[in-house]
Amino acid sequence: DADVTQTPRNRITKTGKRIMLECSQTKGHDRMYWYRQDPGLGLQLIYYSFDVKDINKGEISDGYSVSRQAQAKFSLSLESAIPNQTALYFCATSDASGGAINEQFFGPGTRLTVL
Amino acid sequence: QKEVEQDPGPLSVPEGAIVSLNCTYSNSAFQYFMWYRQYSRKGPELLMYTYSSGNKEDGRFTAQVDKSSKYISLFIRDSQPSDSATYLCAMSLQGAQKLVFGQGTRLTINP
């Protein structure tokens, strides 16, 4: 979905390096999310933010941090990357007024490999 | 034990077949049940959703929820090669803003 963009799309890095993944959206949504996807494990929530001053941990936040720089921007950082953080990372957004279903709109993903 | 279980497959069927995809869950408080479709090298997109129990039909797709068995299904009729994708079930509580996803089932429809 072109309304949610992620950079970079692919990244290879080494153990111990600091990595930042960026997400931008033009949908005007308040809510933003970071997930990781691993084969056989589905989507796991890392962090989520309901507005610029609201940051919440998800189910697998250890080893990650986030920054909500603006309504439209939500960054995910790996302070010291390790090989088991190799995964596909997705950013998603949702509209607070979007009804009970809370449809989430996903970016195209960032494939991260930690050697 | 995950809250939502889904067989990751892969599942491969011939074109025109009826496909059944399923998820089980353990939290009886889930009220909203969704199916997301994810094409290769893309993010997931919402395909269908249902509230509480019952069926919902949209073209060739039918979503079914059986709350008594904690079991949901997605049926695809007259399957097409363009239906080849990973299908993820997702669920949420009433008023909750987080989704709980299944592992996803990778489906291939062979021409």
- Name the residue facing A42 among B43, B94, B103 (closest C-beta): B103
Q: What is the pLDDT along chain A (115 residues), one digit of tens a residue?
A: 469 999 999 999 999 999 999 999 999 999 999 999 998 788 999 999 999 999 999 999 999 999 999 999 999 999 999 999 999 999 999 987 766 677 899 999 999 999 9
Residue in B closest to A48 by C-alpha: B98
Which bin fits A28, alpha (ψ -120 to 50), beta or left (φ > 0)? left
- Tokens 């987080």 locate to B98
**Quick one: tokens of A9?**
């799309």
pLDDT value for B51:
87
Q: What is the pLDDT of residue B52?
A: 83
Please report the pLDDT score of residue A98 as a whole number. Answer: 66
- What is the structure's pLDDT at A89? 98
pLDDT at A34 (0 to 100): 98
Q: What is the Cα–Cα distance from A73 to A60, expressed in whole angstroms?
A: 21
Would you state the pLDDT for residue A41? 83
Please state, in angstroms and rounded to a whole number, the distance separating the CA atoms of residues A17 and A81. Answer: 5
- The shortest C-alpha distance from B97 to chain A (Å) reads 6
How far is the CA of B109 from the CAs of A75, B17, B22, B100, B101, in angstroms?
37, 8, 17, 27, 23
If phi over 0 gives left and psi between -120 and 50 gives alpha, with beta otherwise, what is residue A42? left
Q: Is the pLDDT of residue B91 over 70?
A: yes
* Cβ count near B21 (within 10 Å): 22
Give residue for tokens 């949209």: B58
pLDDT value of position A40: 79
Interface residue A90 vs chain B (CB under 8 A) = yes
Cα separation, A29 vs A95, in Å, equals 5
pLDDT above 80 (res B97): no
Instruction: Give A89's contacts in chain B (Cβ within 8 Å).
Output: none
CB contact under 8 A, A40 and B8: yes
* B108 CA: distance to closest CA in chain A (Å): 16
Q: Which amino acid is at B71?
A: Y
